[in-house]
Amino acid sequence: MATGTYVPIVSNVISGNTTQLVDFQNIPQTYTDLVVILSGTMATSWDIWLRVNNDSTSKCPQQWAFGDGGAQPYVYNVVDTVFYPVLNAHTTEPYLSTQHFPNYANTTTYKPYLNYSGNAQYQFGITNGAWNNTNAINRIKIFIDPAQTTTYFANGTTIGIYGIKGS
Amino acid sequence: MADKNFKVKTGLTLPSPLPVDQGGTGQTSASNTLNALLPLQTSNANKVLQTDGTNTSWITPSVAYTRGTTSQRPASPTAGDLFFNTEKKAFEVWTGSAWVSVAVNGAVPLPPTIGTASLTALIASVPFTGPNDFGDAAISTYTATSNPGSISVSSATSPISITGLTAGTAYTFTVTATNAFGISNASSASNSVTTANVPGAPTSVTAADTGIDGEALIAWTAPGSNGGSAITDYIVEYSLNAGSSYTVFADGTSTATSATVTGLTIGTTYIFRVKAVNVIGTGTASSSSSSYTPVAHFSTSFYSISTTNVGAGGQGSLTISSIPQTYTHLQLRLFGRLTDVVSSGDALIRFNGDTAGNYSHHHWYATGSSNSASSPSPSASSTTMWSSYGGFPGTNKGTSWWGYHVIDITNYTSTSIAKVIKGLGGYSKLETSTTSSQETSMTSGQWNSTAAINSITISGVNWAQYSSIALYGWS
């Protein structure tokens, strides 16, 4: 008999208009893949950042491909200290970002990262990257550039982590 | 009549062997000459000292003595007669009116030589070596004594175990030897050993939802001090009354710094705390966690059908057969690295073993380190479905980089319509600390068959160890 899986590990619904950081620690190591889902809006349009295991070194090579209505999608290759679940998250058009961390508890391989996100009116994007580290992922921090002191996750924004377990 | 004590004058040379009753091996006959026991001194020779505690005087005992039980004392003794009382294991002398005991002073042993003391929990092991000179009688026992605490334990052999020590205390030990004539001086003090203490309190206790009804993941940080002995277990406790009282959650024995508690009541508020345990005992409790109230979870509709985790030997073509027809859609999640291609490659997917040209697919992809993307790349009438367009890294990418693709297959049980496939994924590789290369692709395809999908073959690649091919179904 197949085993039911895809379970919410933790979910955080933002209340009020002051939150700039959601930090999930002690993530269980009992699943095969992690899926992080963000949905909401921003007080002021800005990028959303994601950091793995609080690693602030430049170990996140990634490729962004996104379209905003032009003929061709834009593609950028960068190496950064964070991933970008949502670029230019909008103030009124809700975004949805689904991010995959396959094999996240493995301690032998680097950790691929796959994200697709967008909103109805402005943008659709894919981020394909990797966290250049063999450590198991046990912490995911989702936040706004600390230099941006006037923007934050809008009230009602939902940030959740789900676990998928293979048979 | 006042009690009187008699003893042979200090400095006696005792015979060897001593009487059996005095710890020796000889002079067992019922009547023995005491001459050899008595001092051969100019004055007081053949005398014993009589004292009442204040005044002393020498008296001359008979040179022979008899031995036996109290009832066997001589019936008509004269003052100075000696008798060895086998019941009392002591010489007695007839004062003229009563039999009184005579204490015989022989040499006590020299001190033992102390060894290196050690600890197991709150039990000390005190080894020693007996003295070469055990005095004038065989050593009957050794006694080890702690400092502080003066806990003494006697034994005939080394080492001596001393229990009842106090946790977190530094101890030294001495050993004495005892023979029939008394106790030796103490040995020199042993090395100092300090007993372990109970561990400190764990910190940062958190409670988190596991996604399963009635469960919580309790995690904590190990205490800063293990008390000097390794932590052997953690005790997780919960409170239903904001910390007024706690109940131990039975989670077995584990040194992990997290535990999943089960059986929680949905809607009830809990707080948790944790205690560390070592061989000494249980440490103080951590601060309690924040309040945690379990909630009911939605019923999952995403199910694992098949997972292949590739071992050291790699994995070639793979067929997932007998796919249940009970779901609405399938999702294939491919995680891997390829060992049979140099740059990058794709998995080739076939349904139901169909090798005819019934597959069509389009790909959009971005490759390399350039900031450019392809135009959609159509391919019709193919004999396989491509998982992606160069979406898995090959051998020249090194062994640390991995591709990942999520492929959705809709309405796979339908026998009326063709099957639509959607895929997304890629890989990313750090070339230097500042540059990278990647390949990202999207796939849209179709299997032009109305047959329900009951098997999927993934071929055309050799997967490296740690790759994973997983098929899920959801409704």
pLDDT at residue B99, as a whole number: 86
- pLDDT score recorded for residue A75: 83
Q: Is pLDDT larger for residue B23 or for residue A52?
A: A52
Beta carbons of B424 and B356 less than 8 angstroms apart: no
As a whole number, the mean pLDDT across chain A is: 88
List the alpha helices (DSSP H) in B64-137: none
Return phi, psi of residue B37, to 5°: -80, -15
Q: What is the pLDDT of residue B82?
A: 77
Which of A4, A11, A65 is closest, CB to CB, to B366? A65
Looking at the partner chain, which of B369, B403, B433 has a beta carbon nearest the beta carbon of A77?
Answer: B369
Q: Considering only CB atoms, which chain A residues are within 8 Å of B466?
A: 103, 106, 108-109
3-state DSSP call for residue B22?
Answer: helix
The number of residues making up chain B comes to: 475
pLDDT reported for residue B157: 95
DSSP B315: B
Identify the CATH number of the domain defined by range B113-194.
Answer: 2.60.40.10
- Whether B19 shows a pLDDT value over 80: the answer reads no
Question: What confidence tier does B4 reach under pLDDT thresholds 50, 70, 90?
Answer: very low
Range B127-151 average pLDDT: 89
Nearest to A145 by CA among A36, A22, A55, A20: A20
Q: Which of the residues B404, B442, B468 would you substitute to probe the A interface, choosing the one with the greatest number of A C-beta atoms within 10 Å? A: B404
Q: Residue B433 corresponds to which tokens in the numbers above? A: 């600390």
Which of A58, A62, A64, A167 is the best substitution to test chain B (most B C-beta atoms within 10 A)?
A167
The shortest CB-CB distance from B428 to any of A8, A32, A112 is to A112
Question: What is the per-residue pLDDT across B218-269, written as a single tens digit (0 to 9) for each?
Answer: 999 999 999 989 999 999 999 999 999 999 999 899 999 999 999 999 889 9
Q: Residue B37 has what pLDDT?
A: 37
Q: What is the pLDDT of residues B410-441, one digit of tens each?
A: 889 999 889 989 999 988 877 776 677 788 88
Task: Give residue B8's pLDDT.
Answer: 39
| Radius of gyration over every alpha carbon of chain A, rounded to an integer in angstroms | 16
Which DSSP letter does residue B293 get?
Answer: -
Would you tell me which residues 347-386 of chain B have a C-beta closer than 8 angstroms to some C-beta of chain A?
364, 366, 369-373
Beta strands in B310-414 (DSSP E): 318-320, 329-336, 344-345, 348-351, 359-366, 377-382, 385-386, 392-393, 403-409
Residues from chain B contacting residue A26 (CB–CB below 8 Å) = 206, 208, 217, 219, 258
What is the structure's pLDDT at B159?
97
User: In the predicted model, is pLDDT for residue B63 greater than 70?
Assistant: no
Q: Tell whether the model's pLDDT for residue B11 goes beyond 60.
A: no
- Residue for token pair 């996104």: A66
* A51/B66: higher pLDDT: A51
Q: How confident is the model at residue A6 (pLDDT cuts 50, 70, 90)?
A: confident
Q: pLDDT tens digits for B150-188?
A: 999 999 999 999 999 999 999 999 999 998 778 999 999
| A137 or B12, greater pLDDT | A137
Residue B1 clears pLDDT 50, i.e. is over it: no
Kindly report the pTM of this predicted structure.
0.56
**What pLDDT was estimated at residue B6?**
35
C-alpha separations of B444 from A128, B190, B376, B380 in Å: 18, 81, 10, 12
- Which pLDDT value is given to residue B89? 64
Comparing alpha-carbon positions, the chain B residue that sits nearest to A105 is B466
Taking the C-alpha atoms of residue B435 and residue B449, their distance in angstroms, rounded to an integer, is: 44
Q: Which amino acid is present at B401?
A: W
Q: Is the pLDDT of residue B68 over 60?
A: yes
Name the helix (H) or strand (E) containing B94: strand B90-94
Which residues lie below 8 Å from residue B85, measured CB to CB, with a gap of 6+?
Answer: B67, B68, B69, B70, B73, B91, B92, B99, B101
Question: How would you classify the pairing of strands B456-459 and B348-351?
Answer: antiparallel
The domain B203-278 belongs to what CATH superfamily? Immunoglobulins (2.60.40.10)
Closest CA to B272 of B296, B242, B233: B242
Closest C-alpha among A167, A44, A47, A166 to residue A115: A47
CB contact under 8 A, A8 and B297: yes
Interface of B with A in 435-454 (CB under 8 A): 435-440, 442
Instruction: Say whether residue B433 is in contact with chain A using an 8 A CB cutoff.
Output: yes
Mean pLDDT computed over every residue of chain B? 82
Question: Mean pLDDT across the stretch A23-50?
Answer: 92
3-class secondary structure, B396? helix
The first and second tokens of residue A151, run together, are 């923007």
Residues of chain B with CATH 2.60.40.10: 113-194, 203-278
Does the structural domain A7-164 have CATH classification 2.60.120?
Answer: yes
The predicted-structure confidence for B358-407, as pLDDT tens digits, reads as follows: 998 888 888 765 556 666 666 777 888 887 777 888 898 888 888 999 99
Preceding omega of A8 cis (within 30 degrees of 0): no
pLDDT at B56: 44
Q: pLDDT category, B40, cuts 50, 70, 90?
A: very low
Does residue A4 carry a pLDDT above 70? no
> B49: pLDDT confidence band, cut at 50, 70 and 90?
very low
Collapsed DSSP state (helix, strand, coil) of residue A133: coil
Res B9 pLDDT > 60: no
Task: Please give the average per-residue pLDDT across B89-115, as a whole number.
Answer: 79
pLDDT beyond 90 at B212: no
Task: Name the residue among B345, B342, B464, B358 with its Cα closest to residue B421.
Answer: B358
> Considering only CB atoms, which chain B residues are within 8 Å of A126?
424, 440, 442
Cβ atoms of residues A145 and A46 within 8 Å: yes
Domain boundaries, chain A: 7-164
Q: Determine which of A40-49, A56-65, B9-18 has the lowest per-residue pLDDT on average.
A: B9-18
* Number of cross-chain residue pairs from A and B with Cβ atoms under 8 Å apart: 170
